[in-house]
Amino acid sequence: MTLDVRLLGPLEVRVDGRPVSFPRGNATTILALLLDDAGRAVSVSGLVAGVYGDDFPLDPEAQIQNTIGVLRGRLGPARDRIETVGRAYRIRIGESELDTLRCKAKETRARSLRREGRSEEAAAVLREALAEWRGPALADLPGRAAGAIGRRLDEYRLTLLEQRIDADIDTGLAPGAVEELRQILAVHDSRQRLVGLLMRALHACGRTAEALDAFAALKERLADALGADPNRELVDLHTAILRDQPAEPAAAAPDEPLPAAAVPAMLPRTTHRFTGRETEIRALDRFLMDAEAGLAAVTGMGGVGKTALAVRWAHRVAHRFPDGQLYFNLRGFDPAAPGAAPEDVLGKALAALGVPAQRMPAGLDERAGLYRTILAQRRVLIVLDNARDAAHVRPLLADAPGSFTLVTSRDRLTGLDMSEGAEVVRLGLLSETESEALLARRIGPERAATDQAAVARIAASCDRLPLALTLVGSWSAADPALTLSSLADRLASTTNLLNVLVSTDHASDPRAVFDSSYQLLGEREALAFCMFGLHPGPSLTPAALASLMGAPLGEARSALAALAEINLVERSSGDRYGVQGLLRDYAAECFADEVLEVMQRAAALRMVEHYLFAAYRAGLRSGGHRIEPGAPAPGVFVEMVVDAATWFKAEHAVLQGLLRVEAGFQTDLRVWQLGWILAERALDRPGELLAVQRAAYAAAERRGGAFEQAVSLGYLGIAHHGLGEGDAARVCAERAGILAERDGRTWTRGFAAYAQAAVAGRDGEAQTLRARLAALPADRR
């Protein structure tokens, strides 16, 4: 029983010479995915991603299994060609039975002939390979995955065509190649390899000026469309033509044969404890299916698990890259070593791909050229881990059909997204379920099941950061005598979790990981990050940061953009920025260690005044006594509030946190004033009023003023009364009266009387007194 399967055009399948039809849709997509990896197992999850993308049906794996059954049924006597391999499927098919395999075999034969100097025979073999195409590959199949495979195969056809034209030029057929190349370039006008061939053919025909014009036209097109320059190989060819030297492009058949196809397997070991990240894995699967991608990136803060995800996914899809897998730690944020130089990385990559030491080029450009030339002939997975930024990784990228590059970085790699078309996965914290599952896998599911509440508390204390969860899980596993509840209590009671999460391994120590990002900041960005350690959180606006820094608004915005670019801060809804919990602890350490004490106090005052004056201007004032805050300190950016209710809601948690700030006599006054404003908005919420006024009263006590203490005690009495705590309410109201008499002002005594009436339940009298206070002339206050 024989098969005859053709992908290079409309899909055709014959069994023993008889055509077989398949239902268009999921069945043909799965068949195309299996044939694209002919002879290799394709995981069920990979098939799910290829068929459904992110739009999963109910029980997608069962749907895949059912569709495999349909395919086997249609193949009839060839049904056993689709094999089940664990949780994967593989199609068994010979080279002579599949057109893509025949093409690759002929390409290999042609390369061998070129190395032997038999270019005419090589061109003939390549013509045979190109004759396999009957039209656009898989053009009749619907769906994104089939379309991606088809585009990649058609890209492969262009590569074969370039090789055939190159061989034709070698055999003296340059005149005919010129016209053919012009027709192809009319469609692919920015394909640099084709332009290089045209330049070479024109030069061989004695039409040097036209060859130089072709280079100039391409240079202009690239600059206009991409803001890029021609590659090194084309520049070298241009120089050779200018010097009237033999025009041999670097990527053409070299004088020496390319190295034997070494198959590197450099991926680090993956852990069996890897947990979650299903959404991100599906996204990477989808990018791999897209033939136009070829480049993806995983970005996120330090410790969020970028490397673990990249390595896990790379092992999962390694079977799709028969020519090997390359892995390099670029050490862009490594606290123990400088970043890896691209030239050194390329040297290691070329050695892994089989280039002997005596053939190793010396410079960066030369190594990059040879690297791209070799990858153009192979299907290789490249993982570039821990890149500093887009500039760090750009020399290591290759436009190689069939290969795929995955980059990880704390930087957001906006440059790769914009200029290189990289698909980017933004990696955040684990979900609660994933966090608890990761802990359970580390300490053992049986032990975790005995105290699931403690596991949840531990995960929450670790802020769902994989690095912290893994470290705590390792401690717990190493000390089975330590109960999970005891560990949870210890983590919950610490004021700075970084003092608990300490490891002798710098790569596993959160403080060391965060420090490696902080040390790369400029002076302005470092100051901005420190201010997150002062700010109570959970988030702030650029205007608030400008006040904390004592800097113009534009500088604050620029600093936030730089911090967000390396994932030290996260932009949330609206124009707000926050930091993850452990990073906030680290920022607090930096604030204490890096900022002078006098500057700390000044920043705290500016911070409180920023919110105080915004609240004041928004109309959030006390109902019975208008606060006159005077002028703000130098450097305070007074924010104009358009919608008071919206502003107060957005800043509610921040305002509550500000009441706990202790930074000197003047700041205590501003904290107390802010507490008074907040009290009037919390009269109908006695629990919140109690918390606000306890903090305001503490600030008033530190200042020692009778007026401030009397007002806060009056509000405390009203709060206790609202909570049904009569005795506490009466004590506070009585003390407010005593302090009001000491203060001596009419308004202060009136406010104490209002509080005493409210506490006694004399609502009518309290409202009357409140109205009188509001109407009291300023000179009698």
The three-state secondary structure class of 425 is strand
The rounded mean pLDDT for the chain is: 87
pLDDT band with cut points at 50, 70 and 90 for residue 720: very high
Q: Which tokens sit at 767?
A: 């409202």
The yes-or-no verdict on residue 777 having pLDDT over 80 is: no
- Taking only the tens place, the pLDDT of each residue in 260-297 is 556 899 999 887 788 888 889 989 988 887 755 589 99
Lowest mean pLDDT of 203-207, 245-249, 308-312, name the range.
Answer: 245-249
Question: Which amino acid appears at position 586 of this protein?
Answer: Y
- Side-chain-facing half-sphere of 522: CA atoms under 13 Å: 9
State the Cα–Cα distance between residues 296 and 383, nearest whole angstrom. Answer: 10
State the Cα–Cα distance between residues 420 and 465, nearest whole angstrom. Answer: 30
pLDDT at 734: 95
Q: Which tokens sit at 605?
A: 């005052």
State the Cα–Cα distance between residues 121 and 696, nearest whole angstrom. Answer: 91
- Taking only the tens place, the pLDDT of each residue in 457-508 is 999 999 899 999 988 888 888 888 889 999 899 888 887 888 888 877 777 7
Q: How deeply is 553 buried, as exposed, middle or buried, from its count of CB atoms within 10 A (0-12, 13-18, 19+)?
A: middle
pLDDT at 780: 47
State the Cα–Cα distance between residues 588 and 533, nearest whole angstrom. Answer: 4
Residues 6+ apart with CB under 8 A from 104: none
CA 127 to chain centre: 45
Q: What are phi and psi of 260, to 5 degrees?
A: -60, 145
Q: What is the pTM of this model?
A: 0.69
Q: What is the DSSP track for 313-338?
A: HHHHHGGG-TT-EEEEE--TT-TTSP
State the Cα–Cα distance between residues 542 and 562, nearest whole angstrom. Answer: 13
Tell me the CA distances in angstroms from 293 to 67, 138, 147, 279, 296, one per residue in order: 28, 19, 13, 18, 7
Judged by phi (left if over 0) then psi (alpha if -120 to 50, else beta), residue 398 lies in beta
Quick count: other Cβ atoms within 10 Å of Cβ 329?
A: 18
Quick count: other Cβ atoms within 10 Å of Cβ 456?
A: 16
Percentage with pLDDT > 70 across the chain: 95
Quick count: other Cβ atoms within 10 Å of Cβ 221?
A: 15
- Taking only the tens place, the pLDDT of each residue in 100-139 is 999 999 999 998 998 888 999 999 999 999 999 999 999 8
- Taking only the tens place, the pLDDT of each residue in 438-457 is 999 888 888 989 899 999 99
- Taking only the tens place, the pLDDT of each residue in 392-428 is 999 898 877 778 999 999 999 988 887 788 899 999 9
Sign of the dihedral through C-alpha 6, 67, 146, 135: positive
pLDDT at 715: 95
State the Cα–Cα distance between residues 535 and 610, nearest whole angstrom. Answer: 12
Which has more confidence, 338 or 151?
151
Question: Which amino acid appears at position 498 of this protein?
Answer: L
The yes-or-no verdict on residue 140 having pLDDT over 50 is: yes
State the Cα–Cα distance between residues 514 and 507, nearest whole angstrom. Answer: 10
